[in-house]
Amino acid sequence: MTDIPQGKKAVTLMLFVIAFATLMDGLDGGIVNVALPVLAKDFGTDTGTIAWITVVYFIMIAGLMIPFARIAKNGNIKKVLFIGLIVFTASSFLCGISDNFQMLLVFRAIQGIGAAMMGAATPMICVRYLPTQSLGLGLGVLTLGSSIGFAAGPALGGIITDVLSWHWIFLINIPLGLLVLPLLFKAIPNDEKTPKQDIDLTGAVLLFMVIMFGALALERASYGGDKLLVLVSTAIFLVSITAFILTELKKRHPILNIRVFTHKRFDAVFIAFLLINVAYMGMIYLLPFYMNNTMNFSSSTSGAFLLIPPVITLIFCIPISKWSDASGRRWFSVTACVMMLIAFASMAMFSDRGMTLPLILTLTCMGFVWAFCGGPMASRIVEEVSDESREIGSTLMNESIYIGATVGVALFAMIFTLGSGTGNVEFADLSSEIFLDGFTLSMITGVLISLTALVASFVIKDRSAR
């Protein structure tokens, strides 16, 4: 019988632990970006190469999260989360003491493995140990930690890099990890014995190849990389995804039941959530450059503005998630898409004027995006899969966040390059006029992505209302 936490305090402590774990994960996904110029200078490398410190982290998470979810589902949820937190904390220390690019890249990849384990286990805890009527609250808490981490990361990273050094953007994880480890033992129920299923190793390898070579092709194309490398990566991606689909359709216990994508309702809610993540991370990636290039903000001023979204999300996410548990998810999901649409439209129309008010409007809307998106939109993905697949569905929800993050950064970098026609020219060398050409096209692209997510969210009614 499932060891469900009893009492409000036990549930609150459990939610705090998983929120803290996802906060650490999300924070590390965003905190490094602002330090990349400093890292490039210290290691004597170019901006395209140093970007792999971020890209390899997301690739490891997206490529390994679902395999680790299968391991966790076999009665190992607490073990996977515990080991993942240890790996994440230890590799953060090794990243912090790295003295060359290759060393940092290796330990950053290992850090991504720990993050993948954490990302696989935390949503399963919500699905397994929380009642259905509290699912939105649980996933809201989960995505609250992740979104605040992603949004606050650049601001915090800038402060740490300026005041201390880039090493501390990794070393800060050590006291955080040591704090949450003992709480994990107390808060998370012990693993129960469940019927074991064989792990689909072939599917796991093919899925990792799909993620890795897809990200490589998109990332290299976005930086104007070697065309041969882009073509080869694209070819391997296409072969891998074809082999993955054919293999998984034959498996009795596939690593990912791709038949779930044959259901239109699931496809619509999944695509909407994925596109919101793509748009959000694309905006987070470009805004610091806009504030520096066009508005002439200092790093500390930009960081202060970038704190607006996580503060708003922190205030409103939990109340909105509880509200959606009681009244349905559809209109909350639609509202999240509308907020994202307003954010991009505001920047597309007024970015050339360098005005503070449209920037504040954009950042405020971005805060409400995750307040409305975190619980309601994430819950829709879990609710649209069969009961026996909900734990994997919850991990697939988390997977879409990291795929969205990877694709969002690479896609918006590519659109910016096409719009500005700058190729490999560094952002610091661009005039405001040329910068705005690429930035405006990126914002228009964001409008189209947000509209697509809005339509996909609107057409699917809540099951309780059907």
Q: Would the pLDDT of 193 be above 70?
A: no
Half-sphere exposure of 425 (CA within 13 A, CB side): 15
| 304/315 Cα distance (integer angstroms) | 17
- Please, which pLDDT band fits residue 270 given cuts at 50, 70 and 90? confident
- Please, which pLDDT band fits residue 60 given cuts at 50, 70 and 90? confident
Among the ranges given (162-171, 327-336, 457-466), the one the predictor scored with the smallest mean pLDDT: 457-466
Q: Give the pLDDT mean for 183-210.
A: 76
| 327/323 Cα distance (integer angstroms) | 6
pLDDT over 90 for what percent of the chain?
12
Name 197's Cβ contacts closer than 8 Å, sequence gap at least 6.
Answer: 70, 73, 74, 253
What is the average pLDDT score of the chain? 78
pLDDT at residue 101, rounded to an integer: 85
| 360/339 Cα distance (integer angstroms) | 13
Task: Check if the beta carbon of residue 406 is closer than 8 Å to that of residue 55.
Answer: yes
Task: Check if the beta carbon of residue 255 is closer than 8 Å to that of residue 386.
Answer: no
Q: Give the pLDDT mean for 41-56.
A: 71
pLDDT at residue 49, rounded to an integer: 67
- Please, which pLDDT band fits residue 1 given cuts at 50, 70 and 90? very low
| 378/371 Cα distance (integer angstroms) | 11
Tokens 């998106």 locate to: 373
pLDDT at residue 223, rounded to an integer: 59
The larger pLDDT score, comparing residue 261 to residue 331, is at 331
pLDDT at residue 304, rounded to an integer: 75
CATH hierarchy code of domain 8-192+255-465: 1.20.1250.20
148-165 as b/e: b if 16+ CB within 10 A? bbbbbbbbbbbbbbeeee
Tokens of 190: 């012990």
- Per-residue pLDDT tens for 391-439? 556 667 767 777 787 788 778 877 887 787 755 555 456 677 887 888 8
pLDDT over 70 for what percent of the chain?
80
Tokens 């990273």 locate to: 157
Closest listed residue to residue 372, CA positions, set 150, 143, 138: 143
Task: Check if the beta carbon of residue 109 is closer than 8 Å to that of residue 54.
Answer: no
Q: Would the pLDDT of 158 be above 50?
A: yes
| 149/20 Cα distance (integer angstroms) | 10
Task: Check if the beta carbon of residue 403 is closer than 8 Å to that of residue 381.
Answer: no
Is residue 216 classed exposed, middle or buried when 0-12, 13-18 and 19+ CB atoms within 10 A define those classes? buried
Name 376's Cβ contacts closer than 8 Å, sequence gap at least 6.
Answer: 136, 140, 320, 321, 324, 329, 332, 333, 336
| Type of residue at 322 | K
The larger pLDDT score, comparing residue 119 to residue 427, is at 119
C-alpha pair distances (Å), 20 with each of 15, 146, 160, 219, 310:
8, 9, 20, 30, 15
| Type of residue at 256 | L
- Per-residue pLDDT tens for 2-40? 455 555 677 777 777 777 777 777 777 667 766 766 777
| 284/147 Cα distance (integer angstroms) | 11
What is the 3-class SS of the chain, one letter each residue?
CCCCCCCHHHHHHHHHHHHHHHHHHHHHHHHCHHHHHHHHHHHCCCHHHHCHHHHHHHHHHHHHHHHHHHHHHCCCHHHHHHHHHHHHHHHHHHHHCCCCHHHHHHHHHHHHHHHHHHHHHHHHHHHHHCCHHHHHHHHHHHHHHHHHHHHHHHHHHHHHHHHCCCCHHHHCHHHHHHHHHHHHHHHCCCCCCCCCCCCCHHHHHHHHHHHHHHHHHHHHHHCCCCHHHHHHHHHHHHHHHHHHHHHHHHCCCCCCCHHHHHCHHHHHHHHHHHHHHHHHHHHHHHHHHHHHHCCCCCHHHHHHHHCHHHHHHHHHHHHHHHHHHHHCCHHHHHHHHHHHHHHHHHHHHHHHHCCHHHHHHHHHHHHHHHHHHHHHHHHHHHHCCCHHHHHHHHHHHHHHHHHHHHHHHHHHHHHHHHHHCCCCCCHHHCCHHHHHHHHHHHHHHHHHHHHHHHHHHHHCCCHHHC
Q: Give the pLDDT mean for 227-250.
A: 87
pLDDT at residue 465, rounded to an integer: 44
Domain coordinates in residue numbering, the chain: 8-192+255-465, 200-254
Q: Give the pLDDT mean for 362-369.
A: 90
Closest listed residue to residue 293, CA positions, set 193, 438, 156: 438
- Please, which pLDDT band fits residue 453 given cuts at 50, 70 and 90? very high
Q: At what angle do helices 201-222 and 227-250 cross, to 10 degrees?
A: 150
Task: Check if the beta carbon of residue 180 is closer than 8 Å to that of residue 20.
Answer: yes
pLDDT at residue 466, rounded to an integer: 40
| 341/360 Cα distance (integer angstroms) | 15
Torsion of CA 297, 431, 44, 219, to 10 degrees: 100
Q: What is the pTM of this model?
A: 0.75
